[in-house]
Structure 1
Amino acid sequence: MACAWNERQSGCAPARFASQMSAQQSQGIQTLLEAEKEAAKIVQQARQYRVQKLKDARSEAAKEIDEYKKAKEQEFKAFESSHAGTTSSAQTAVDKETEVSLKAITDSYNKNKDAVVQKLLDRVVLVKPELHRNLTKVQA
């Protein structure tokens, strides 16, 4: 049997040491594999936690957006209703002004229609025959 290290001290103890070393290495490898599995579980849990947090953040953001949207819609409706009254009052004022103008035109028509008709008839019926001002008299 050939021993790899100092044979004089232990009388070829390396074979026993190698089997002991092999058992320790096997146990160390097993421990490393278990630690790796545990680390993989921790990483998986962290990923699941992150995904859940993202879902929660998205739902919370959507909820905040909806609340903000509702608040702005209410604000717009309040603004619209407060300014809609001024539009209807402006329309009422324009209608009154138009009515007053139409009444003034109607009154003026009724007051002056007889005189205008008479002037038109006089111009059509009463014709004065005279020469045009550009026409010069021919001397005979």
Structure 2
Amino acid sequence: MASQSQGIQQLLQAEKRAKDKLEEAKKRKNKRLKQAKEEATAEIDQYKLKRETDFRRIQTSVMGSQGNLAVKIEEQTTERIQSYNSRFQKCKDKVLQELLDLACDIKPELHINYKYTV
């Protein structure tokens, strides 16, 4: 009987060691999964950062040229407005005088379609 209980004790100890090894293996597996997840997250972040910097660079080159175009158009518009204003100031008095002359200097005459009958 003692040998049987000793055999049972050995089986229980072997089962306990197997259980401990299994728990240790699970811990290593979980640890490795966490490490792999962290590595994947870091790799994703690095890739995302690279793509964002590429996008920003391309956006800057495209938008920069559009920004320069907008500045050029704004400058041209300002120049044209100044030109129109200066021409207006030069011709304003002359045009006003011509309009006043036409309105005030009335020369009465008969219309060409008017037929005078006596």
CA shift, 1:45, in A, is 1.1
Q: Which residue of 2 aligns with 1:86?
A: 62
User: What percentage of aligned pairs have identical amino acids?
Assistant: 10
Match of 2:89 in 1: 113
Distance apart, 1:117 and its partner CA: 5.0
Unaligned residue ranges in structure 2 (runs of 5+): 105-118
Larger RCO (CA within 8 A; separation ≥ 6): 1
Q: Which 4+ stretches in 1 moved above 3 angstroms?
A: 117-120
- Alignment counterpart, residue 98 of structure 1, candidates 74, 89, 103: 74
More helix, by proportion: 2
**1:64 CA drift (Å):** 1.4
What is the match of residue 22 of structure 1?
Answer: none
Question: Of the candidates 12, 20, 23, which is equivalent to residue 44 of structure 1?
Answer: 20
Across the two proteins, how many residue pairs are aligned to each other? 99
Matches of 1:48 and 1:89 in 2, distance apart? 61
The equivalent residue for 1:18 is none
RMSD of aligned Cα (Å): 2.0
1:115 to partner: Cα distance? 3.2
Q: Output the amino acid matched with 2:46.
A: K
Calculate the TM-score normalised by the size of structure 2.
Answer: 0.74
Q: What's the CA shift string for 1:81-131, capped at 9, x where partnerless? A: 0121111111110111111111111111111213335639x98xxxx8xxx
